[in-house]
Amino acid sequence: MAGSFRLALTVSLVEEARGGPFVYHGDFSHACREAERMGYDGIEIFAPSSEWFATHDVQNKVAGHGLRVAAIGSGAGWLTRKLSLSSSNDEIRKEAVAFVSGLIDAGAAIKAPVIIGSMQGRAENGEDVSAVRGRLVESLIPLAKRSADAGLPLLYEPLNRYETNLINRLSDGIHMLAGVANVKLLADLFHMNIEEVDIAASIREAGAAVGHVHFADSNRRAVGAGHLFAAPIVEALNSIEYEGWLSAEVLPLPSESEAARLSVASHRRLFPA
């Protein structure tokens, strides 16, 4: 293990996401080889759909490289199909739930939870935000139950204001999800740098509600390549006895391999074994 917290490398397998905040893109086998070579513990997959898992022997592939699947991103549902769990259109919302349900079933086979990020949608055209949040919660309830049946949490990610106007901070996520069992928050340090007054304090206040962390700097590059003050964040994660994954959801800059290397170096420096 690279440090006291498990570190995952991110790989996108969605062509429309090329140039997005993923260390590797397009070649799952290559990403696994690089993750093993650089000392990662696992890999986070941004997959096009649940069907992708049916045609790739993911469990044996990652295990063959001494890795685990940290989580599965669901954002391709929005990116490629414009599906939203909070849509005012009942059919779109139903299709969005089905899309995520398929990923949950795929994740169950490899013990990997699913992330709800951009699939949460946003309030548009003057919609009442509380009503949109209500539709989102209605969609999350059966998905959280499906995840619970698989023995896994559902991961919900507050996004920054430029990506959604529903939930931007951890505390808002806790409030919205108060009546939904089996949902953990994903603390993305890039989004938190924009929205939180104090990242470390927000993590401490969220406590056991934090179930996953996206390990990225203020500019969405590898930690250490921006102006994020990481030491208090490390202390906060230690104080809540966090035992989950840190996933390097970062831009492939200055190159894929260098972004991967820098993330490992920062992880080892901040979380020494």
pLDDT tens column, 198-221: 999 999 999 999 999 999 999 999
The mean pLDDT of the chain is: 96
Domain that holds residue 213: 6-270
Looking at the domain assignment, is residue 265 inside a domain?
Answer: yes
* Structural domain contains residue 76: yes
Write the pLDDT tens digit of every residue in 141-166: 999 999 999 999 999 999 999 999 99
Phi, psi of 225 (to 5 degrees): -100, 5
Please indicate, yes or no, if residue 132 is contained in any of the structural domains.
yes
CA distances from 273 to 1, 4, 6, 249, 261 (A): 8, 5, 11, 22, 17
**pTM for the full model?**
0.97
What is residue 240's three-state secondary structure? coil
The residues annotated as belonging to the active site are 157, 249
Q: What is the pLDDT of residue 177?
A: 97
CATH code of the domain containing 88: 3.20.20.150
Number of domains in the chain: 1
What is the rounded distance in angstroms from the CA atom of residue 114 to the CA atom of residue 70? 9
27-60 residue pLDDT tens: 999 999 999 999 999 999 999 999 999 999 999 9
Residue 1 belongs to a domain: no
Check residue 5 and give its pLDDT.
87
Burial of residue 171, with CB atoms counted within 10 A of its CB: 0-12 exposed, 13-18 middle, 19 or more buried: middle
